[in-house]
């Protein structure tokens, strides 16, 4: 029974993470398309055949059985009504192949969605270049906003650490260990300035490469005591059935010099907020810290992508299998860990989508900007430069094939790593 509950919890967690990230992304495209006067044909949650649908205004809203994402259909990008093919000199249609293609498309038509002429005034194609860029970039932007909302929710409902950093590990070959920092140390101040937020301490370390920093540390030395004579005292920790621990607190000042570039300098510790010092925060403070944490995640992700692209660090891509395992593991720890992972994945997916690669939103933005540049050149020089739509579609199709092959490779790699 417990296994069944764990499985159900994991399924709900996976659906929450994947659907929330996908839907907030699609909502960005949806709302900006509406604002830019583009006809949104459909807003769908899930994949597969529709199990529920309702038309509100000009948009069809639908639910589908596979709850692992969603999509929007925009006029001019989907359900395009092709113009009549020009007749040849003999008065016949261009070719038989075209007729067969049209017949196949007719059989696949969606009866719930209208065919829209490509030059319709509310078509995506008819909008100015800046409107297209806004719509395409809005999905990734909403992914970043979603991370801010999730991080803020953690602080609003669970509270946050108010004073210190817990050192999870201090590897022996790193700066911190050599200076005297040990696993379990609590950094409560830096240079005598008491930390009111663990991110404050991280920023002080990250932004001061090559400068001496004095870490003000509390180190607790556990003392085992016999429990046979009475109960466990307040602020003590149960150790076993017949003993308990008290802690002899020691305060230390340890000088370290962070290494690295400004904004990403390190001293070589694995750290975490001190979870024993959580407290509920005022709404404004919680939102401010949530947004600050999300911006910190965004900055670190951008830095990581830059290092990966420039070959400074090895590419580490997680496939669907590994991501689902991560979601399952975090959901077992609690909703705050699940929200944090969701924020992290949302930022990664949003930023990856902005990369100027075929089939991604960033790749489509490149073609929109290229088309805008051609328009300026045509006005100035009287030329007739245009982006060939078939070439663009071919490039995006090739990009999609490469993306699918990459996902298959990464998935196989993830599966093999489990054995």
Closest CA to 293 of 347, 368, 240, 360: 347
| pLDDT at residue 26 in the model | 92
Query: What is the pTM for the complete model shown?
Result: 0.68
| pLDDT at residue 87 in the model | 43
| pLDDT at residue 231 in the model | 47
Average confidence (pLDDT) per 10 residues, the chain, 419 residues: 75 87 92 92 87 88 83 78 47 53 54 78 88 94 94 84 78 92 90 80 88 92 62 46 66 92 86 66 84 87 82 71 80 84 90 89 92 90 84 87 84 74
CA 269 to chain centre: 25
Contacts of 196 (CB under 8 A, 6+ apart): 162, 163
| pLDDT at residue 142 in the model | 95
How do beta strands 193-194 and 237-240 pair? unpaired
| pLDDT at residue 233 in the model | 46
| pLDDT at residue 419 in the model | 64
Whole-angstrom Cα Rg for the chain = 28
| pLDDT at residue 418 in the model | 66
3-state SS class at 194 = strand
CA distance 369 to 130: 9
Domains of the chain: 129-159+283-419 (no CATH), 160-279 (2.30.42.10)
| pLDDT at residue 239 in the model | 44
CA distances from 71 to 28, 32, 60, 64, 144 (A): 11, 14, 12, 11, 18
CA distance 238 to 318: 39
| pLDDT at residue 257 in the model | 94
| pLDDT at residue 365 in the model | 93
């Amino acid at each position: 029974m417990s296994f069944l509950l764990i499985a159900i919890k994991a399924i709900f967690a996976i659906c929450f993470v994947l659907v929330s990230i996908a839907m907030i992304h699609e909502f960005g495209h949806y709302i900006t398309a509406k604002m830019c006067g583009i006809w949104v044909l459909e807003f769908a949650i899930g994949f597969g055949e529709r199990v529920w649908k309702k038309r509100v205004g000009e948009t069809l809203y639908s639910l589908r059985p596979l709850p692992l994402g969603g999509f929007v259909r925009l006029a001019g990008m989907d359900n395009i009504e092709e113009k009549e093919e020009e007749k040849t000199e003999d008065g016949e249609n261009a070719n038989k192949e075209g007729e067969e293609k049209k017949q196949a498309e007719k059989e696949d038509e969606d009866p719930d969605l209208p065919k829209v002429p490509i030059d319709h005034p509310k078509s995506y194609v008819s909008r100015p270049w800046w409107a297209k860029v806004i719509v395409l970039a809005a999905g990734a932007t909403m992914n970043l906003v979603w991370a801010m909302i999730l991080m803020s929710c953690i602080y609003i409902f669970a509270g946050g650490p108010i004073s210190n950093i817990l050192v999870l590990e201090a590897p022996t070959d790193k700066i911190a260990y050599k200076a005297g920092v040990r696993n379990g140390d609590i950094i409560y101040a830096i240079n005598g300035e008491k930390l009111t937020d663990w991110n404050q301490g991280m920023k002080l370390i990250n932004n001061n490469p090559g400068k001496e920093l004095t870490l003000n540390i509390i180190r607790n030395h556990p003392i085992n005591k016999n429990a046979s004579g009475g109960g466990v005292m307040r602020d003590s920790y149960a150790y076993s059935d017949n003993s308990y621990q008290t802690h002899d607190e020691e305060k230390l000042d340890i000088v370290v010099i962070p290494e690295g570039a400004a904004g990403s300098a390190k001293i070589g510790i694995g750290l975490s907020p001190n979870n024993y010092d959580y407290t509920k925060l005022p709404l404004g403070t919680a939102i401010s810290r949530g947004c600050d944490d999300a911006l910190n995640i965004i900055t670190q992700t951008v830095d990581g992508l830059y290092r990966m692209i420039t070959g400074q660090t090895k590419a580490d891509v997680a496939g669907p299998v590994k991501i689902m395992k991560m979601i399952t593991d975090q959901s077992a720890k609690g909703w705050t860990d699940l929200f944090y992972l969701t924020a992290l994945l949302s930022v990664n997916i949003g930023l990856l989508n902005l990369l100027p690669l075929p089939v991604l939103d960033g790749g489509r933005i490149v073609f929109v900007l290229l088309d805008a540049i051609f328009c300026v050149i045509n006005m100035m020089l009287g030329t007739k430069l245009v982006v060939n739509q078939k070439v663009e579609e071919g490039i995006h199709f090739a990009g999609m094939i490469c993306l699918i092959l990459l996902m298959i490779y990464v998935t196989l790699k993830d599966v093999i790593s489990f054995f």
